[in-house]
Amino acid sequence: MREKTSQIIDEIKKVICGKDEVVRLVLQSVLSGGHVLMEDVPGVGKTTMALAFARTMGMDYGRVQFTPDVLPSDITGFSLLDQETRTMKYQKGAVFHNLFLADELNRASSRTQSALLEAMEEGQVTVDDQTYPLPKPFVVIATQNPSGASGTSLLPDSQMDRFAIRISMGYPSPDNEIEMLMNRQNGANPLSEIHPICTVEDIVKMQEETSKMYVKLRVMKYIVALMDRTRNHKSLSRGGSPRATLALTAMAKAHAYMTDRDYVIPDDVQAVFSAVMSHRILLTPEAEVKEIRTADIAKEIIKTTAIPKE
């Protein structure tokens, strides 16, 4: 199964030009069983990325364009009276897909945003005291425009913490943008050239293999030391939660899995640390005034935290 990861990346690169590291991080999040938050300006390819992953990995795909009038029941489903049997029947909501794209999530009301919490954490939804499991695998890829953009509001901290990683696509380089144009010559659509590399059963199998990656006590101590630094950093008012510790470990396992190892080393932790932590740590007011970025603090913590000896 492991060899399929490189095939998936090669297939995605037919559509997404010059963003290899972003593609790898998204795939690692899927393998770890986590969810992805993409924060960027409109038009840089966030939705295209999600659709390309769904097609390449053979996943059932659903999308909701979030606006202030989207209701929680649109996401989780609702009970409806059956006129023939006079009983209540459950109608599935939009979240019942292997890959659910929550487009511009931060344009929805906080109540609607919260409708995703149970789904993201437990892989199920509860409606009228009845619990309904979501299909496996279940992955949320949410996009949001930068904070302060017109019509947006901040995501709740509890929801931010449920995303394994936060990434940014960024603008393409001039060469990559020219390649993008060339790929669309004569009305061509690169998405139509995407072919499935695996099935949902393959994904579940790869997730199981990833979860069994061995983590030495030394690496566990390193992960905890990094977390402790975030909780005691002078420029941070809040550090990583225990959920962040679990997410960092799971992402490090996925990085090791894609590097063709059966065990995790400190390099795996360092490779994913910034993507896992940048949306979970909060700056102090003084740090915000100095325009310090959480990604910069994450890099500093990596550089200054000693790796425990064997």
Amino acid identity, position 105:
L
Judge if 159 and 219 occupy the same domain. Answer: no
Own/partner pairs for 205-211, CB < 8 Å, 24+ apart? 205/1, 206/1, 206/2, 206/4, 206/5, 206/31, 206/257, 207/30, 207/31, 207/32, 207/33, 207/137, 209/1, 209/2, 209/257, 210/31, 210/32, 210/250, 210/253, 210/254, 210/257, 211/33, 211/250, 211/253
Judge if 217 and 124 occupy the same domain. Answer: no
Q: Judge whether residue 193 has pLDDT over 90.
A: no
Nearest to 5 by CA among 50, 57, 61: 57
Judge if 134 and 232 occupy the same domain. Answer: no
Q: Judge whether residue 154 has pLDDT over 80.
A: no
Judge if 178 and 241 occupy the same domain. Answer: no
Give the model confidence (pLDDT) of 98-134 as tens digits: 999 998 888 888 888 888 889 999 999 998 888 999 9
- Could you list the residue range(s) of the whole structural domain that residue 248 is in? 213-304
Give the model confidence (pLDDT) of 155-179 as tens digits: 778 888 899 999 988 888 899 889 8
Q: At what angle do helices 20-32 and 200-211 cross, to 10 degrees?
A: 80
Q: What's the pLDDT at 221?
A: 96
Judge if 68 and 178 occupy the same domain. Answer: yes
Residue 277 belongs to a domain with what CATH number? Answer: 1.10.8.80
Judge if 178 and 33 occupy the same domain. Answer: yes
Residue 129 belongs to a domain with what CATH number? Answer: 3.40.50.300
33 — pLDDT class (breaks 50, 70, 90): very high
- Where does a domain end: 129, 163, 183? 183
Give the model confidence (pLDDT) of 204-246 as tens digits: 999 999 999 999 999 999 999 999 999 999 999 999 999 999 9
Give the model confidence (pLDDT) of 46-65 as tens digits: 888 889 999 999 999 999 99
- Where does a domain end: 183, 201, 222? 183
For the chain, what is the domain count?
Answer: 2
55 belongs to a structural domain: yes
Judge if 18 and 164 occupy the same domain. Answer: yes
Give the model confidence (pLDDT) of 67-89 as tens digits: 888 999 999 998 888 777 878 88
How many Å apart are CA 63 and CA 95, to the nearest integer? 8
How far from 188 is each of 48, 50, 54, CA to CA, in Å? 15, 19, 20
